């Protein structure tokens, strides 16, 4: 089947960039991205490409090329579903905050709503593609709903999880390591798989398009995120050991990464991983394992999260300890709030939890992030529900100039590895800070030796994850 019309439900961090790239690479396919969030759709349609709802390097150019040609953003969900041959579900699947599985299971409310809406809006047969990250066997639930409420239309369900990382979404989409498509083994399932393979084959080499059964595809996505997060927790565990023993975690990472079986990527010690997915997907896997009675499997993966929580808390405790066991009334400057560089996304960012810990101790936090707004930072802290909006505004200030942020600070903490932080005039920052000036490099990006030379007050104990 030749696909000429695609609808994608969900215009978020995945739906927006993924569909923009499909539209750019397949000019003969009309791609309509729909969302119930009017403001988000308006922003996707906005004149100013600097204000797209998702900040990703290179995304503005892709959108500029395809939008209005064969890429459209709309809130008319039913119309877009009905017109399409293939409907992607790319809605949020956060951790449940209520009821059975609270704090562990994925909340599939929005996915189920999509399935019901697809069933109700379709006047012809459809291929429905799970793009959201879902618990293994969700396709069965989606199929049940479609088959029982779809008025006799035929639906083929495919799983096509997304592996892009934020900050590099466009390059990941343009040159993916692999595209994964899972589907039903029968002839109709295979035909649906082939239809989606042909879409990607417009720019992805065929040998990089993997096809599997649907359960393998669903589970591979959770497994990939669990393995990646596990590497970060593993190197972070080693960072604590390095701090006690005189080993340098950067050197250890380089040494082990040179082993081709281990490989050099994803071995950067940090203040802890963040982002909307690692924690949620591992918790989901832990929940699924427990539900099958697989206690050891569940406990094994849960440890990745526990180590990450430990790393975030450890960073905050280290700041307090180094500032003579009290941060009450002290100005601590956060450089970075996003969960990683080159994104405006702050979901589950380590900065939120470190800030919360320090605010408990009545620290005065000043935040500078090149891409995150004041409203977002306050909203992140309010979402924790640990204190009133008034108290948050009293203890946390957001500024848009890094040098102003560091003025009269007792300590500067690097929470995100933005490239620009490395290029700052650190002599100037040192001079503007209160003495003894402390720098806590939660990303290990600064030239520590240079800092120590330029100002003897930058003492070795102030550096978190290596000791020269």
Ligand X SMILES: NC(=O)C1=CN([C@@H]2O[C@H](COP(=O)(O)OP(=O)(O)OC[C@H]3O[C@@H](n4cnc5c(N)ncnc54)[C@H](O)[C@@H]3O)[C@@H](O)[C@H]2O)C=CC1
Ligand Y SMILES: O=C(O)[C@H]1O[C@H](OP(=O)(O)OP(=O)(O)OC[C@H]2O[C@@H](n3ccc(=O)[nH]c3=O)[C@H](O)[C@@H]2O)[C@H](O)[C@@H](O)[C@@H]1O
93 is in an annotated binding site: yes
* Residue 8 bears catalytic tag: no
465 vs 206: CA distance, rounded Å: 42
370 binds ligand X (CB under 6 A): no
Work out how close the CB of 28 gets to ligand Y at its nearest, in angstroms, rounded to a whole number. Answer: 28
From the list ligand Y, ligand X, none, partner contacted by residue 267 (C-beta under 5 to 8 A by kind): ligand Y
Stretch that binds ligand X, among 8-16, 292-300, 367-375, 411-419 (CB under 6 A): 8-16
Selected catalytic residue, list 7, 8, 114, 277:
277
**Secondary element (H or E) of residue 86:** strand 86-89
Please name the residues in contact with 121: beta carbons below 8 A apart, sequence gap of 6 or more.
77, 78, 79, 81, 82
277 binds ligand Y (CB under 6 A): yes
Binding mask 205-234 for ligand Y (x = CB under 6 A): --------------------x--x---x--
From the list ligand Y, ligand X, none, partner contacted by residue 270 (C-beta under 5 to 8 A by kind): ligand Y
Q: What angle do CA 198, 201, 202 make, to 5 degrees?
A: 100
Q: Report the residue number, 32 or 225, with the smaller CB distance to ligand Y.
A: 225
11 binds ligand X (CB under 6 A): yes
Q: Single out the residue of 162, 184, 243, 342 in contact with ligand Y (rule: CB under 6 A).
A: 162
Residues of this chain, 234-293, that bind ligand X according to CB under 6 A: 276-277
95 is in an annotated binding site: yes
Work out how close the CB of 85 gets to ligand Y at its nearest, in angstroms, rounded to a whole number. Answer: 26
**Secondary element (H or E) of residue 8:** strand 5-9
Strand order in the sheet with 438-441: 396-398, 364-368, 331-335, 411-414, 438-441
Work out how close the CB of 168 gets to ligand X at its nearest, in angstroms, rounded to a whole number. Answer: 10
Tell me the chain's radius of gyration from C-alpha atoms: 24
Q: Single out the residue of 110, 266, 300, 378 in contact with ligand Y (rule: CB under 6 A).
A: 266
165 binds ligand Y (CB under 6 A): yes
Residue carrying structure tokens 């343009």: 174
Please name the residues in contact with 201: beta carbons below 8 A apart, sequence gap of 6 or more.
209
349 binds ligand X (CB under 6 A): no
- Show the tokens assigned to 185: 């083994």
- Single out the residue of 24, 126, 36, 115 nearest to residue 73, CA to CA: 36
90 binds ligand X (CB under 6 A): yes
Whether 349 and 338 have beta carbons less than 8 Å apart is answered as yes
Residue carrying structure tokens 């369900």: 157
What are φ and ψ of residue 438, in 5° steps? -120, 140
- Single out the residue of 194, 203, 131 nearest to residue 172, CA to CA: 203
Strand order in the sheet with 179-183: 71-74, 30-34, 5-9, 86-89, 126-130, 155-159, 179-183, 209-213
**Residues across the chain:** 468
Q: Single out the residue of 58, 60, 110, 163 in contact with ligand Y (rule: CB under 6 A).
A: 163
241 is in an annotated binding site: no
| Integer angstrom CA distances of residue 345 from 19, 161, 169 | 19, 20, 12
Residue nearest to ligand X (CB): 12
Residues of this chain, 148-167, that bind ligand X according to CB under 6 A: 162, 164, 166
Work out how close the CB of 147 gets to ligand X at its nearest, in angstroms, rounded to a whole number. Answer: 19
User: How many C-beta atoms lie closer than 10 Å to residue 112's C-beta?
Assistant: 15
From the list ligand X, ligand Y, none, partner contacted by residue 398 (C-beta under 5 to 8 A by kind): none
Query: Residue 149: CA atoms inside 13 Å, Cβ hemisphere, count?
Result: 16
424 binds ligand X (CB under 6 A): no
DSSP 94: P
268 binds ligand Y (CB under 6 A): yes
217 binds ligand X (CB under 6 A): no
Whether 118 and 77 have beta carbons less than 8 Å apart is answered as no
- Point out the residues that are catalytic: 277
Which residue positions form the known binding site for substrate? 162-166, 221-225, 261, 268-274, 339-340, 443
**Contact set with ligand X (CB under 6 A):** 9-15, 34-37, 40, 77, 90-93, 110, 113-114, 132-133, 162, 164, 166, 276-277
Annotated binding residues, written as ranges, equal: 10-15, 35, 40, 91-95, 132-133, 162-166, 221-225, 261, 268-274, 277-280, 339-340, 347, 443
Residues at the binding site for NAD(+) are: 10-15, 35, 40, 91-95, 132-133, 166, 277-280, 347
Which residues of this chain interact with ligand Y, rule CB under 6 A?
133, 162-166, 225, 228, 232, 266-268, 270, 273-275, 277-278, 339-340
């Amino acid at each position: 089947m030749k696909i000429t019309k695609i609808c994608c439900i969900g215009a978020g961090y995945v739906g927006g960039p993924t569909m923009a790239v499909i539209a750019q690479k397949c000019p003969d396919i009309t791609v309509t991205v729909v969302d119930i969030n009017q403001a988000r759709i308006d922003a996707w349609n906005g004149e100013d490409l600097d204000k797209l709802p998702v900040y990703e390097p290179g995304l503005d150019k892709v959108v500029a090329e395809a939008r209005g040609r064969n890429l459209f953003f709309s809130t008319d969900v039913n119309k877009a579903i009905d017109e399409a041959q293939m409907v992607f579900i790319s809605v949020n699947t956060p951790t449940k905050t209520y009821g059975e599985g609270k704090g562990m299971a994925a909340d599939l409310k929005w996915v189920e709503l999509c399935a019901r809406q697809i069933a109700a809006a379709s006047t012809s047969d459809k291929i429905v593609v799970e793009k959201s990250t879902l618990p293994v066997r969700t396709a069965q639930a989606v199929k049940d709903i479609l088959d029982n409420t779809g008025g006799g239309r035929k639906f083929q369900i495919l799983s096509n999880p997304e592996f892009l990382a934020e900050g590099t979404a466009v390059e990941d989409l343009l040159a993916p390591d692999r595209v994964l498509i899972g589907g039903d083994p029968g002839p109709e399932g295979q035909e649906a798989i082939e239809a989606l393979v042909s879409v990607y084959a417009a720019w992805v080499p065929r040998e990089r398009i993997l096809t599997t059964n649907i359960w393998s595809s669903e589970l591979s996505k959770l497994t990939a995120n669990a393995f990646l997060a596990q590497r970060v927790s593993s190197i972070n565990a080693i960072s604590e050991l390095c701090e006690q023993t005189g080993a340098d975690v950067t050197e250890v990472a380089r040494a082990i990464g040179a082993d081709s079986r281990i490989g050099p990527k994803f071995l950067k010690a940090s203040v802890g991983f963040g982002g909307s997915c690692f924690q949620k997907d591992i918790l989901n896997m832990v929940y699924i394992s427990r539900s099958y009675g697989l206690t050891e499997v569940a406990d094994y993966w849960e440890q990745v999260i526990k180590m990450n929580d430990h790393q975030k808390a450890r960073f905050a405790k280290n700041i307090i300890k180094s500032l003579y066991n009290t941060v009450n009334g002290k100005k601590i400057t956060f450089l970075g709030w996003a969960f990683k560089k080159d994104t405006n996304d702050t979901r589950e960012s380590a900065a939120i939890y470190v800030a919360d810990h320090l605010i408990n101790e009545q620290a005065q936090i000043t935040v500078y992030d090149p891409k995150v707004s004041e409203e977002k930072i306050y909203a992140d802290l309010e979402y924790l529900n640990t204190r009133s909006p008034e108290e948050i505004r009293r203890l946390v200030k957001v500024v848009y100039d890094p040098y102003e942020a560091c003025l009269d600070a007792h300590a500067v903490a690097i929470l995100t590895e933005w490239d620009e932080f490395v290029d700052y005039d650190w002599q100037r920052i040192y001079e503007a800070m209160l003495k003894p000036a402390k720098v806590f490099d939660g990303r290990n990006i600064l030239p520590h030796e240079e800092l120590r030379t330029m100002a003897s007050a930058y003492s070795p104990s102030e550096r978190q994850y290596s000791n020269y």
